Amino acid sequence: MRRQITSLRELDDLARDRPEPAPAPSTSDLQTEFEFELPRGYLHSDGTLHRTGRMRLATARDELRPQIDIRVKENPAYLSVVLLAQVITRLGTLTDIHPGLVEQMYATDIAFLQEFYRRVNSEGHTRAAMQCPSCGSSFEVDIAGGRLGES
């Protein structure tokens, strides 16, 4: 019999009722957080521009919780706002990342973060394969940030 979850509290209760799995052996080569640099940056109400940040890998719970969020049910496009707010751990000097903050970010930065999220959670890295349109040579670019022309 399937149990229908209708609130965050029920999801948390369900998770609490399950036994904790045995911890996986630690491996030093598993990267779970990734640094990024936004194309434009988040302009805080105090006038500070925040361009660098950190995003952690998403868990299954991170992807499930927005599904029962009332804002997402009313507007499915809001899913990415809620999801990004859960996995961004730092933005400049800010550590309290919430959907209201993500809502105020420029569309360019949201598009960047959505691609960044997809890349680190699907492919496990932040490198993108590129090809020079002039000479055709192939190379990789780290989309995590850095100024253009830096290596």
Domain ranges in the chain are: 31-142
Nearest to 32 by CA among 54, 53, 59, 56: 56
Pairing assessment for the beta strands 138-142 and 88-91 based on DSSP bridges? unpaired
In whole angstroms, what is the distance from residue 87 CA to residue 41 CA? 17
Q: Which residue has the higher pLDDT, 151 or 11?
A: 11
Judge whether residue 136 has pLDDT over 70.
yes
Q: Does the global pTM surpass 0.85?
A: no
| pLDDT tens column, 89-113 | 999 999 999 999 999 999 999 999 9
The pLDDT > 70 percentage for the chain reads 72
